[in-house]
Structure 1
Amino acid sequence: MSRFDEAAAQAARARQAVLTKPAGSLGRLEDLAVFMAGWQGRERPRIDRAQALVFAGNHGVVAQGVNPFPAEVTALMAQNFAAGGAAINQLCRVADADLRVVPLDLDRPTADFTTGPAMSAEEVVSAMQSGADAVDPDADVLLLGEMGIGNSTVAAALAAATFGGQAGDWIGPGTGASAEIMARKADAVSRGLALHAPSDTRGTLAAFGGREQAAICGAVMRARDLGIPVLLDGFICTAAAAVLTRDDPAALAHCLIGHESAEPGHRRLIEALALPIPPILSLEMRLGEGSGAAVALMVLRSALACHDGMATFAEAVIG
């Protein structure tokens, strides 16, 4: 497993201290440059290749009426991604990220977690492997996103199972749920939590499901092995990755949260994870599909451009 290179990070801090600016004046951009230096193992980190992965899956829990849209929309949106017509396509183009969409058995939804486990152990392993296999070893940074009707309900269940609390602490409007649908979401999550009591990562994924959530976990683990920093998207993506902390509290040390979602559970999740660098952006976004991570990539590129391209005081003969 790749580790943070403290020597490279210290060299990056030293460089920040002599660039032609007041100390600390670029704020969190400086922290991002140091973070990337430590995980890339070089004083002047770079992003020559950014990969964006969007995993798509369908969920049996939609039978509980937890979403205003039918499950068929997942496949339709996957087709929209492939045709270049979604928000993530435009954002990846502007941010210069190579986008790959990975549909995961869309014709075979997971089981309804209110009546039994969403996935078998074998299905969890298969989905995690799909996520790991999709990671490009040559990427300098990995962006993760998801698509799946009903997966904000799954995310709430995963977050509650991982960090505790009641269903009402974690559910949100998702794609625009009415008060009636919100009540059904809370009921479904509550019944799922009463039925399942998993204690580790794979058990939690099996209980509450989401092939795309399991794939996100697999991709995060593979990126760590390869030493690739990760940009997580919003609530659903972060809730999926957070399940890894059930096995290893430091599992997300190489991850940044791209943005704080408008989903109310995301702030609670961010506080529970307590990653060293706060979410890069807060734009009231709640689209999913990696969109917040893609916008955050533009900020990350800006941080590295300043870190690498600015003159030092000695080079500029200032002072």
Structure 2
Amino acid sequence: MPVHQPVADPAALIAATVEAIRPADRTAGERADARQGRLTKPSDALGRLEGLATRIAGITGQERPRLDRRLVIVAAGDHGVTAQGVSAFPPEVTAQMVANFLAGGAAINVLASHAGARVRVVDAGVRSETPDHPDLLRLRLGPGTDDISQGPAMTRALAERAIAEGIALFERERAAEGVEIVALGEMGIGNSTSAAAIVAAVTGRPPRAVTGRGTGVDDAHYELKVAAIERALAVNAPDRSDGIGMLAALGGFEIGVLAGAYLAAAAAHVPAVIDGVISGAAALVAEAIAPTSVDSFVASHRSVEPGHHATLEHLRLEPIFDLGMRLGEASGAALGISLCVAACRLLDEMATFGEAGVSDSDTAVEPEA
């Protein structure tokens, strides 16, 4: 595994990336929508697949996007707030699951393979040692974050570096093999607590309203989780308009890496598929840093986690599907890639009425009585 070279000037890279982000290409979207109306089908017969393809056309600036090069990023990190009893699993599970990703044995490996996407795993800040592997990027920004219920998760400098490393990762992957759509997911014991804190800070909703069971905690552990989030918000008093500061106060190293990848994807006009509540929290951080970045987001599914519902409402995104999922790992986002590709292939490969020699509803002649 090659030695990783840290980003030299994180703040400058973030600023340059934000400067490069532009709104969706309305003209490309309109052309895609017009083509939808000429395809050999009744108007709107493919339902939300049509709007999905049109959105992706606007993101990419292409009337007929193909999405042939697909990437899944799974960033992993541990969280100091686990000391408050917020999770049903011990912290060492994070490193164990990283090893499982690299061995190809996790749900995301199966779903990414089905979607025709390669998987890049990132050790953003795992407490235990992770194995050497060509598919692993070992950033190791720290041995997990500090306990957010006692103070900030990390310094502002570390938050900037996490975001910048996510930008650099996406840019390297795109330069090496090309990326036309990216799914963003995570692994980290305790990270649903950090995510819920971010969601509460951004949306202004009470912690209890955006906090779910995560890994399946019982009632007693759930109360500890809500209390930890309430203390984190009181102790850190995060500014919802300051994405970097919010990440430093409440986030995780893996959340920062994903936020950077969202920003880089937006700057490159690449659709970024949101997974569940933690991936969504990273999208909130990215949106706070660069509001226009939301134009490049695609919501894959609606997680059972209440914080995810609040996140999608804040971002004004409608998820593609709702299967009652709550795994993380980019599992829902990988399924989302499959549907995005299907939607774009329909737009690109179906014949128009003119090409097929089929009369459409405007040219058909009524039969004589």
Residue of structure 2 equivalent to 1:224: 266
Residue of structure 2 equivalent to 1:236: 278
Residue of structure 1 equivalent to 2:158: 123
Residue of structure 2 equivalent to 1:111: 146
Q: Which amino acid aligns with 2:311?
A: L
Normalised to the residue count of structure 2, the TM-score between the two structures is 0.84
Residue of structure 1 equivalent to 2:222: 182
Residue of structure 1 equivalent to 2:82: 62
Render the CA deviation track for 1:100-155: whole Å, top value 9, x for unaligned. 11011313111001111110011111211221122122211111000000001000
Runs (4 or more) in structure 1 with deviation over 4 Å come to none
CA–CA separation in structure 2 for the residues paired with 1:271 and 1:224: 20
Q: Which amino acid aligns with 1:101?
A: V
Q: Which amino acid aligns with 1:179?
A: D
Larger radius of gyration: 2
**Could you tell me whether the CA contact under 8 Å between 2:125 and 2:254 is conserved in 1?**
no
CA–CA separation in structure 2 for the residues paired with 1:216 and 1:174: 19
SS in 2 for 1:37: helix
**Could you tell me whether the CA contact under 8 Å between 2:154 and 2:249 is conserved in 1?**
yes
CA–CA separation in structure 2 for the residues paired with 1:296 and 1:204: 28
Question: Which of 319, 331, 334 is the equivalent residue of 1:294?
Answer: 334
Residue of structure 2 equivalent to 1:84: 104
**Could you tell me whether the CA contact under 8 Å between 2:149 and 2:231 is conserved in 1?**
yes
Normalised to the residue count of structure 1, the TM-score between the two structures is 0.97
Question: Which of 284, 306, 312 is the equivalent residue of 2:324?
Answer: 284
Q: Indicate yes or no: 2:179 matched with 1:159.
A: no
SS in 2 for 1:242: helix
CA–CA separation in structure 2 for the residues paired with 1:18 and 1:114: 56
User: Which piece of structure 1 moves more, 55-64 or 104-113?
Assistant: 104-113
Question: Which of 309, 313, 318 is the equivalent residue of 2:349?
Answer: 309
Q: Which amino acid aligns with 2:221?
A: I
Q: Which amino acid aligns with 2:50?
A: E
SS in 2 for 1:67: coil
**Could you tell me whether the CA contact under 8 Å between 1:61 and 1:112 is conserved in 2?**
yes
**Could you tell me whether the CA contact under 8 Å between 1:144 and 1:237 is conserved in 2?**
yes
Residue of structure 1 equivalent to 2:311: 269
Residue identity over aligned pairs, in percent, reads 45
Residue of structure 2 equivalent to 1:214: 256
SS in 2 for 1:160: helix
Q: Which amino acid aligns with 2:57?
A: A
CA–CA separation in structure 2 for the residues paired with 1:274 and 1:117: 29
Q: Which amino acid aligns with 1:23?
A: S
CA–CA separation in structure 1 for the residues paired with 2:247 and 2:266: 19
Residue of structure 2 equivalent to 1:24: 44
CA–CA separation in structure 2 for the residues paired with 1:105 and 1:6: 39
**Could you tell me whether the CA contact under 8 Å between 2:263 and 2:290 is conserved in 1?**
no
SS in 2 for 1:20: coil
Render the CA deviation track for 1:74-125: whole Å, top value 9, x for unaligned. 0000000000000000000011011111011313111001111110011111
Residue of structure 2 equivalent to 1:194: 234
CA–CA separation in structure 2 for the residues paired with 1:274 and 1:21: 29
Residue of structure 1 equivalent to 2:301: 259
Aligned positions, number:
317
SS in 2 for 1:251: helix
SS in 2 for 1:298: helix
SS in 1 for 2:291: coil
SS in 2 for 1:252: helix
SS in 1 for 2:323: coil
- Structure 2: gaps (5+ residues): 1-20, 128-142, 360-369
SS in 2 for 1:39: helix
